[in-house]
Amino acid sequence: MKQRRKIRKQKAHIAFVLNGEPCEVAFAPHKTLLEVLREDLNLTGTKHGCELGECGTCAVLLDGKPVLSCLVLGLDAEGREVTTVEGMQLPEGRLHPLQETFADLGAAQCGYCTPGFLLTALELLAKNPKPTREEIAQALSGNLCRCTGYIKIYEAVELAAAHMRGEKAEVAEEVVYGLKS
């Protein structure tokens, strides 16, 4: 009887900081960061889109900067800080202002693109608390959305930025309900 050759699957093992907490994970070394997050850490908030670096739906923050996790090897996260959409919630389970305004203004519709937009906008507001509409559009230009037409997303980022600056900004009624006929 032929003896089967035993093939040992080698796993990579890394330690890093995930959403503010120390984390260790073992995974097949060819996996992308997107695959490690979703398949090995069960963090499915990061969405799987084109896997070609074109849609932005897989965006996460690596050391505070947005990266496309489909183009980053899991091994590259070793010793670094990764933030996913699951890490955006505030103490006591409160939503981040960006999450609130995306929900309130209809900037999240099917929601598939939303985690990537939220994290990219989070980094924008960290470095520029009062961005212009043009700066917001520029920062989010690598993220694609098939549902919203983008305007609601820009408005949500503007409103969240105002709330984060401590301003009592209100959203105009027509933004939420449309123009009265």
Binding site for ligand FES (CB under 6 A): 48-51, 53-58, 68, 70, 108-113, 145-148
- We find the least distance from the C-beta atom of residue 79 to ligand FES, in angstroms, to be 23
Beta bridge partners of 14: 25
Closest CA to 45 of 13, 26, 19, 15: 19
Nearest CB to ligand FES, comparing residues 20 and 53: 53
127 by Cβ neighbours in 10 Å (0-12 / 13-18 / 19+) ranks as exposed
Nearest CB to ligand FES, comparing residues 34 and 125: 34
Residue 22 φ then ψ, to 5°:
-60, 145
- We find the least distance from the C-beta atom of residue 157 to ligand FES, in angstroms, to be 14
Would you tell me how many other CB atoms lie within 10 Å of the CB of residue 164? 16
Nearest CB to ligand FES, comparing residues 22 and 145: 145
Nearest CB to ligand FES, comparing residues 22 and 51: 51
- We find the least distance from the C-beta atom of residue 150 to ligand FES, in angstroms, to be 9
